[in-house]
Amino acid sequence: MLNYIIKRFLGMIPVLFGVSIVSFAVISLAPGRFSSLDQAMNPKVSAQYQMRLNRAFNLDKPVHVRYFLWLKDLARLDLGRSFVDNRPVAAKILERVPVTVGINALSLLVVFLVAIPVGIRAATKEGGAFDTATAVFSFVMLSVPAFWLALLLMQLFCIHLGWLPISGLHSLDFDYFPPVRRFLDVAWHLILPVFVSSVAGLAVISRYMRSSILEALQQPYIYTALAKGLPQRTVLYKHALRNALLPIVTLAGLSIPGLLGGSVIFESIFALPGLGQLFFQAVMARDIPLIMAEVVLGALLTVAGNLIADISYACVDPRIRYK
Amino acid sequence: MSPLLEVKGLKVDFHLENRIVHAVEGVDLQVRRNETVVLAGESGSGKTITTLALTRILPAPARIVAGQVLLEGRDMLALEEKKLYSIRGGVIAYIFQEPASFLNPVLTIGEQIVEAVIWHQRLGRQEAQDQGRELLRQVRIAEADRVFNSFPHQLSGGMNQRAFIAMALACKPSLLIADEPTTSLDVTIEAEILKLLTELKEKVGFSLLFITHNLAIARKISQRIYVMYRGRVVENGLTEDIFKDPKHFHTRELIAAYHKIGKL
């Protein structure tokens, strides 16, 4: 098992190289440079000023040279400095991580904690009222764009009813609150974003869980469990559920990279200072070090997420042993 | 003395999406104490469904529409579901055709035996585990401890079937229903399993209802045979009589197949 993990880690290296080369090339090929953006806004920006900027950020050098310079820094775990404000990229990303990861982790938790029992119940009462209701809910929620749903819910809960705050992460007077009230304030602000970002996952995972249970309940070993005289409950929760959860574990592992993937639209609607917003701003400003850092981070998490999914799969399914 | 099991006019329908299929159309059969009875017939003749109906563990679209299943005089079809828990495994136990798929792939052999022991005999885990290992030794598994901790996919088909028999006998049933338990095994293993079953039957003392389409096995192990064809029992009697003078054409087909194999 350990050998397998080491081998997989080594296998990650060429993938990450590939990702970084392709994304570096794409960004460099994209029209517009950091140095020319000022001119678009302000025609008075002189050619000398542009050249100075280009030289300062190595933008006057060919792409491959810039790539290797970037790689050299990365090898020393230096992600470089942002073109925009000259702050270290690592610091800019780190300060955004809690918001995005917090919301995504919460919504992932909500998705699995709610979808699994819902799926089980829908499967055990197949074709019943609960099953039909959750099916309709799932199909509607999958078809509705999240930003539209977010706007509708904001109108209902924030404007008409006034129960929830409309945007942001905390109230204006947050700094004067005692700790408990701060926590409650943040929780209050997170209700709507977490709900909206969970909805699609809920729809998918609950349906998936349902069909997984239904499939498990038709397997021959279920007859064995029944023939042993085990009560319905044990047959369902021990024999069927253990097997039905196998594919769900894989899905959970595969959602790990999504933890850092902030949604641009979503964070804009709720005015949340997350990674999605940061990434979007970086792209608009052609801020190459910041863009590259986010892309590499995303790639790293995707590959690591796949590995975690495979390992956790081996932990829950005794038939799978990696060599 | 009344028979251990008496089935009268059992009818099972399958309610499929757009039609109803009559899978079992009025089956009568009896099993006496310590007797070995064979239920023979081609695939799809309703043998398996008949035996699953005895303890009502039928697949979802199947419904019992008529009949009586008297086990020691009690009608199983009139009992409420919860009362059946102690009868399944405790009085009537099953072994199935392919142990590999009828054993739960994510639970160890030991756990699958132990859970039945705990549930039926209300034992503590430690005692149940000791009993589980003892059961494995009883079905002649040499490395009982290793098998106890193994998952089904780590064992051979024959080993799995032995473990399955141990699991079925865990709660000392009065009737063991064996649904083609050797069909998926090769011939030498088949002979070993049959020998094991007949030995255990003598030693432990239970009735055996054995489903097969192979009359060679029927002749070797059974006192009586029921022949099923298209959901009905078309012929029944003492094994020797049926071989001597088969009445129904399907019985003759099965016997012809037996002779053909004998000549090969």
ipTM value of the model?
0.91
Interval A260-278 mean pLDDT: 81
Residue A300: inside a domain: no
How many Å apart are CA A20 and CA A230, to the nearest integer? 55
Asked if A220 lies within 8 A of B98 by C-beta distance, the reply is: yes
pLDDT score, position B54 = 94
pLDDT at A174 over 80: no
Residue A1: inside a domain: no
Residue A10: inside a domain: no
Asked if B106 lies within 8 A of A228 by C-beta distance, the reply is: no
User: Over chain A, what is the mean pLDDT?
Assistant: 86
Q: Which of A45, A60, A94 is the last residue of a domain?
A: A94
How many Å apart are CA B170 and CA B127, to the nearest integer? 13
Do residue A146 and residue A255 come from a single domain? yes
Closest residue in A to B61 (Cα) is A218
Residue A299: inside a domain: no
Q: Which of A54, A69, A94 is the last residue of a domain?
A: A94
Whole-number CA gyration radius for chain B: 18
Residue A309: inside a domain: no
Asked if A224 lies within 8 A of B90 by C-beta distance, the reply is: no
Instruction: Pick the more confident residue, A79 or B29.
Output: B29
Do residue A81 and residue A152 come from a single domain? no
| A232 contact residues in B (CB cutoff 8 A) | 81
Q: Which of A233, A256, A273 is the last residue of a domain?
A: A273
pLDDT tens-digit profile of A277-323?
888 888 888 888 898 888 888 888 888 888 888 888 888 888 877 65
Residue A165: inside a domain: yes
Residue A157: inside a domain: yes
Do residue A53 and residue A172 come from a single domain? no
Band of residue A37 on the pLDDT scale cut at 50, 70, 90 = low
Do residue A110 and residue A251 come from a single domain? yes
Do residue A84 and residue A208 come from a single domain? no
Do residue A177 and residue A129 come from a single domain? yes
pLDDT tens-digit profile of A38-49?
666 677 777 777
The answer to whether B171 and B121 are in contact (CB under 8 A) is yes
Instruction: Pick the more confident residue, A176 or B129.
Output: B129
Do residue A200 and residue A166 come from a single domain? yes
Residues 6+ apart with CB under 8 A from B110: B129, B132, B133, B148, B149
Do residue A87 and residue A111 come from a single domain? no
pTM (2 d.p.) = 0.82
Instruction: Report the share of chain A in percent with pLDDT over 70.
Output: 96
**What stretches in chain B show pLDDT beneath 50?**
none
pLDDT at A25 over 70: yes
Q: Using CB atoms and an 8 Å cut-off, which of residues 217-256 of chain A contact chain B?
A: 218-221, 223-232, 234, 238-239, 242-243, 246
Structural domain of residue A81, as residue ranges? 16-94
Closest residue in A to B97 (Cα) is A220
Instruction: Pick the more confident residue, A8 or A131.
Output: A131
| Distance between B171 CA and the closest CA of chain A, angstroms | 9
| B85 contact residues in A (CB cutoff 8 A) | 229-231
Residues 6+ apart with CB under 8 A from A237: none
Asked if A227 lies within 8 A of B115 by C-beta distance, the reply is: no
Report how many domains make up chain A: 2
Q: A179-183, A205-209, A259-263, B254-258 — which one is most confidently predicted on average? A: A205-209
Do residue A65 and residue A116 come from a single domain? no
pLDDT score, position B263 = 61
CATH number for the domain spanning A116: value is 1.10.3720.10
Band of residue A215 on the pLDDT scale cut at 50, 70, 90 = very high
pLDDT at A74 over 90: no
Residue A214: inside a domain: yes
Best B58, B86, B106, B171 residue to mutate vs chain A (most A CBs within 10 Å): B106
Question: Which residues face B6 on adjacent strands?
Answer: B30, B70
Query: A with B: how many residue pairs have Cβ under 8 Å apart?
Result: 83
Question: Which residues face B7 on adjacent strands?
Answer: B29, B69
pLDDT at A262 over 80: no
Least confident range from A79-93, A255-269, B116-130, B159-173: namely: A255-269
